[in-house]
Structure 1
Amino acid sequence: MVCEETGKAALFDPGGDIEKIEAAISTLGGTLDVIYLTHGHMDHCAAADVLRKKYGVEVIGPQKEDAFWIDKLPEWCKMTGFPHADPFTPDRWLNDEDTVEFGNQKLQVKFCPGHTPGHVIFFHEQARLAIVGDVLFQGSIGRTDFPRGDHDTLIASIQNKLWPLGDDVTFIPGHGPASTFGHERATNPFVADERFA
């Protein structure tokens, strides 16, 4: 995400493919200013520390309950055949209702545990845009069978933290196509309103 007024760019959840990430930033015409993490799974944070050191920027997020995921990055990567990543500590942990900024842009932080215990999402109110990591997908929700995942907690996070932001909000998930909260409330078999009526 690039602030058009300042050219400063925020990078969300860099899991790998550093060359592709750098090419994308260059294409957008921005200068990397900060790295935000929604959660500590390797496919969302394994490249964060490498990029932090290379560009001299801060890594911000997720919430501290995900520290155990980041601390065990080498083990998770080895177990799954993912490229090696060293553990690291973010420059700042986030909490519910925090605000973060890059350039002239402000993002609200919402604590949304369930997929992981320290998962957060980022909401740009003016743009009506949410970066939701692996909380919600088009037609699905995040997995909860990983260590310290919890299905009921995830459903509560979606209903209590995402839906109140508005049906018109477009969200970008960690995997797959974008959608809107309104569309998911009407059609998503896991969290559609009619399922809980």
Structure 2
Amino acid sequence: MSQTPPFQIKIVPVTPFQQNCSLIRARNGSIAVIDPGGEVDRLIAEADAWDGKIEKIWLTHGHLDHAGGAMELKEKTGAIIEGAQEEEVFWLSQISEQIKRFGTHMEAKNVTPDRWLDDGDTVELDGNVFEVIFTPGHTPGHVVFFNRHMKIAFVGDVLFKGSIGRTDFPRGDHATLIASITEKLWPLGNDVQFVPGHGPLSTFGHERQSNPFVGDAVVGRAGANTQGPG
């Protein structure tokens, strides 16, 4: 007899950027929302349809398409905001400026997390523990959320299927990003599935075999920068 999984995942692409916002529902109905970039009322409706209550908001980083709806979601649900790492104040404190820069008509507020996170910390949802992995490079305070039991990672804009995150934004660094992927993510295991900030899911093993920027065949030699989707 198969056991009910300890949590379920629903991926909801939001905003014109089609950012993968993830809703995690524990068995008791509590929900964590990872990277609510916008369309807050839609996210709340998704939680209601799932017979759940949004209690946690987890941020991988502070770019508009990932954090733009965080404060509104907190105001409407009472959920607490955890993440990213404290260096991400650089981006979270200027979300309103990002709106002007991207020329979008989105409404968004600067974010003040209830709790900053750092490497080795954990976040929790109804007993489900997610490890926090500090993965700078795309942004200075980027983090990844990893559940070891289910072997799944929510990687924001660090890694994509067939690509890696952009490093041409302020305080991005290509070499740091490569190190974050190869030194922090690869050791978690080839069988780990990951949810990227944009696009389809993949596994670390698949990317080690085929990713043209960070696969095993190219690690150790200079790789060209990428203008990836994030």
Taking structure 1 as the reference length, the TM-score comes to 0.96
The residue number in structure 2 matching 1:11 is 33
Cα distance between partner residues in 2 of 1:195 and 1:174 = 23
Matched-pair contact (CA < 8 Å) for 2:69–2:109: no
Say whether 1:144 aligns with 2:170.
no
Unpaired runs of at least 5, structure 1: none
Task: Give, in angstroms, the shift of residue 22 of structure 1.
Answer: 1.6
Matched-pair contact (CA < 8 Å) for 2:67–2:111: no
Unpaired runs of at least 5, structure 2: 1-23, 221-230
Task: Give, in angstroms, the shift of residue 26 of structure 1.
Answer: 2.3
Task: Give, in angstroms, the shift of residue 37 of structure 1.
Answer: 0.1
Count of equivalent residues = 196
The residue number in structure 2 matching 1:187 is 210
Equivalent residue letter for 1:135: V
Tell me the alpha carbon deviations over residues 81-110 of structure 1, each in whole angstroms, 9 at most, x when there is no partner: 231322231000000010110112110000
Which structure has the highest strand share of the two? 2
The residue number in structure 1 matching 2:198 is 175
Percentage of pairs with the same residue: 53
CA RMSD of aligned residues (A): 1.0
The residue number in structure 2 matching 1:55 is 77
Which structure has the highest helix share of the two? 1
Cα distance between partner residues in 2 of 1:154 and 1:24 = 33
The residue number in structure 2 matching 1:73 is 95
* From 123, 148, 151, the counterpart of 1:128: 151
Cα distance between partner residues in 2 of 1:100 and 1:158 = 21
Cα distance between partner residues in 2 of 1:149 and 1:28 = 37
Task: Give, in angstroms, the shift of residue 19 of structure 1.
Answer: 2.5
Counting only pairs closer than 5 Å after superposition, residues 23-34 of structure 1 correspond to structure 2 as 23-34=45-56
The residue number in structure 2 matching 1:43 is 65
Q: Which moved more, 1:162-171 or 1:74-83?
A: 74-83
Matched-pair contact (CA < 8 Å) for 1:109–1:121: yes
Taking structure 2 as the reference length, the TM-score comes to 0.83
The residue number in structure 2 matching 1:95 is 118
Matched-pair contact (CA < 8 Å) for 1:95–1:110: yes
Matched-pair contact (CA < 8 Å) for 1:78–1:84: no
Task: Give, in angstroms, the shift of residue 21 of structure 1.
Answer: 1.2
Which segments of structure 1 move beyond 3 Å, counting only runs of 4 or more? none
Q: Which moved more, 1:131-140 or 1:22-31?
A: 22-31
Task: Give, in angstroms, the shift of residue 7 of structure 1.
Answer: 1.1
Q: Secondary structure at the match of 1:68?
A: helix
